[in-house]
């Protein structure tokens, strides 16, 4: 069995409790317009071009898919991730995002990090959406479980319920996104409404899963009292939800978007005062801790 992995990042402190190694799987059913991991949206490998290294030599115009222009311009829709441009580029300006790996190969990368996990840490399966590769994610979770390594699954919630049921016995914590409470606004900004996401949250809660809600807040999209009340309502309805993580928008995804040949997302990161106000407003509504 092989899965497509965009990255394996050790010493992560923002993807669950303690010190963790985060494994990012490729492919996502949503298209959030503020996406911070745009290289993980498409399921297959694709090229990324570092403009600051590119010397515009045009060698990559040999691209068999016709995805590169005479001076290295990238048409991302045509890229098949074949890697030809990476091999001919004299400036090391191109790289492929998305590597096929077996669960055992991923484990070999993780196990040296184990001493840093101590009691609280472990491994977080993230993406993209890890449930887009359900068999691979479950196989990896089983290997980690057998090694007594804590597994967290960071999910957008939009996947087949069976995928969650398969990985649940090996998962210590779900970092479950709740992005926009209004279903139509959710569809407008992410490409899908949130009905399935709500149902999966309810199912996981009913099955006894440990859950932290992850709530990205994007200025002009979901920084509204209605949405904050919607988050609070979920913590009332599902009182075992441990905490709410408020994730203020940041612009780091734009650097990756440029490398992927995509336009910038057009959002502005909030200043500290605004982010802190959001946290206070949300905390005033919620019975569980609201963390940043
Ligand atoms: S081969 Fe490399 S340096 Fe030359 S145009 Fe393409 S990306 Fe730029
Ligand atoms: S990886 Fe490079 S050569 Fe291959 S299809 Fe994509 S742009 Fe073209
Ligand atoms: S769910 Fe995450 S990875 Fe998928 S599009 Fe939204 S922000 Fe990007």
Of 48, 67, 72, 99, which is best to mutate to test ligand 2, by the most ligand atoms within 8 angstroms of its C-beta? 67
Pocket lining: 82 vs ligand 2, CB cutoff 6 Å = yes
Taking the chain (292 residues) in runs of 10, the rounded mean pLDDT of each run is 97 96 98 97 97 97 98 97 98 97 98 96 97 98 98 98 98 98 98 98 98 98 98 97 97 96 97 98 96 96
Task: State if residue 37 touches ligand 3 by the CB under 6 angstroms criterion.
Answer: yes
Ligand found nearest the CA of 69: 1
- Report pLDDT for 11: 97
Our answer on whether the CB atom of 197 is closer than 6 Å to any ligand 3 atom is no
pTM to 2 decimal places: 0.95
Helix (H, G, I), strand (E, B) or coil at 209: coil
Instruction: Write out the DSSP string of 65-76.
Output: TS-B-TTS-B-G
Is 88 touching ligand 2 by the criterion CB < 6 Å? no
Ligand nearest to the Cα of 194, by number: 3
Whole-angstrom distance, CA of residue 56 vs CA of residue 43: 29
| Contacts of residue 163, Cβ cutoff 8 Å, sequence gap at least 6 | 131, 134, 137, 138
Sheet with 211-217, side-by-side order of all strands: 99-101, 3-12, 20-25, 122-126, 151-155, 173-177, 211-217, 244-248, 290-291
Nearest atom in ligand 1 to 85's CA:
1
Domains identified in the chain and CATH numbers: 3-42+98-291 (3.20.20.70), 46-96 (3.30.70.20)
HSE-CB at 34 with a 13 A cutoff on CA atoms is 21
Structure tokens at 148: 């007594």
Alpha carbon of 48 to ligand 1 centroid (Å): 11
Closest ligand relative to 91 C-alpha: 1
| pLDDT on residue 15 | 94
Q: For ligand 2, is residue 89 a contact (CB within 6 Å)?
A: no
Ligand 3 probe mutation, 38, 130, 132, 156, most atoms within 8 A of CB: 156
Distance in Å, CA 177 to ligand 3 centroid: 10
Pocket of ligand 3 contains residue 180 by CB under 6 Å: no
Cα distance from N-terminal residue to C-terminal residue, the chain: 37
**Which ligand number lies closest to the CA of residue 58?**
1
Q: 126 has which bridge partners?
A: 24
Atom 1 of ligand 1, residue of closest alpha carbon: 89
For residue 10, the CA-to-ligand 2 centroid distance in Å is: 29
């Amino acid at each position: 069995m092989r899965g497509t992995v965009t990255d394996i990042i050790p010493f992560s402190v923002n993807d669950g409790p303690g010190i963790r190694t985060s494994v990012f799987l490729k492919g996502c059913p949503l298209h959030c317009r503020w996406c911070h991991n745009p290289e993980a949206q498409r399921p297959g490998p694709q090229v990324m071009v570092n403009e600051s290294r590119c010397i515009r030599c045009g060698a990559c115009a040999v691209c068999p898919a016709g995805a590169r222009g005479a001076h290295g311009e990238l048409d991302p829709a045509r890229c098949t991730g074949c890697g030809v441009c990476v091999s001919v580029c004299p400036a090391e300006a191109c790289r492929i995002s998305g590597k096929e790996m077996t669960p055992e190969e991923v484990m070999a990368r993780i196990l040296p990090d184990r001493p840093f996990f101590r009691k609280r840490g472990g491994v977080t399966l993230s993406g993209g959406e890890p449930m887009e590769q359900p068999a691979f994610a479950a196989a990896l979770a089983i290997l980690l479980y057998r090694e007594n390594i804590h597994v967290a699954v960071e999910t957008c919630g939009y996947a087949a319920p069976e995928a969650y049921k398969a990985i649940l016995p090996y998962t210590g914590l779900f970092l479950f996104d709740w992005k926009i409470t209004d279903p139509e606004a959710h569809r407008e900004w992410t490409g899908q409404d949130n009905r399935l996401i709500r149902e999966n949250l309810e199912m996981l809660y009913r099955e006894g899963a440990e859950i932290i809600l992850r709530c990205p807040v994007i200025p002009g999209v979901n920084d509204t009292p209605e949405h904050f009340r919607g988050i609070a309502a979920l913590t009332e309805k599902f009182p075992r939800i441990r905490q709410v993580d408020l994730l203020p928008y940041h612009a780091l995804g734009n650097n990756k978007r440029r490398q992927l040949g995509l336009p910038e997302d057009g959002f502005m990161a909030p200043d500290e005062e605004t982010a802190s106000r959001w946290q206070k407003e949300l905390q005033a509504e919620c019975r569980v801790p609201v963390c940043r």
